[in-house]
Amino acid sequence: MEYKVKILDIEELAPEVKKFIVEKPINYSFKPGQSTIISINKPGFEKKKRSFSMTSINKNKELEFIIKIYNDREGITKEIDKLKVGDILLIGIPFGKIEYKGKGYFIAGGVGIAPFISIFRHLEDDKELDKNFLIYSNRTHKDIVIEKELKRMFKNNIKFVLTREEKSGFYNKRIDENFLMETVKDFNSYFYICGPRQFVTDIKEILANIGVKKEKIIFEGMS
**pLDDT(119) > 80:** yes
- The domain limits of the chain are 3-91, 104-222
In order, the DSSP letters of 104-155 are EEEEEEGGGGHHHHHHHHHHHHTT-GGG-EEEEEESSGGG-SSHHHHHHHHT
CATH of segment(s) 104-222? 3.40.50.80
Q: What is the pLDDT of residues 13-68, one digit of tens each?
A: 999 999 999 999 999 999 999 999 999 999 988 888 999 999 999 999 999 999 99
Q: Are 137 and 110 in contact (CB under 8 A)?
A: yes
**pLDDT(137) > 90:** yes
Of the candidate CATH numbers 3.40.50.150, 2.60.40.1170, 2.40.30.10, 2.40.50.140, the domain formed by 3-91 belongs to 2.40.30.10
pLDDT given at position 182: 94
Q: What is the pLDDT of residues 154-172, one digit of tens each?
A: 999 999 999 999 998 898 8
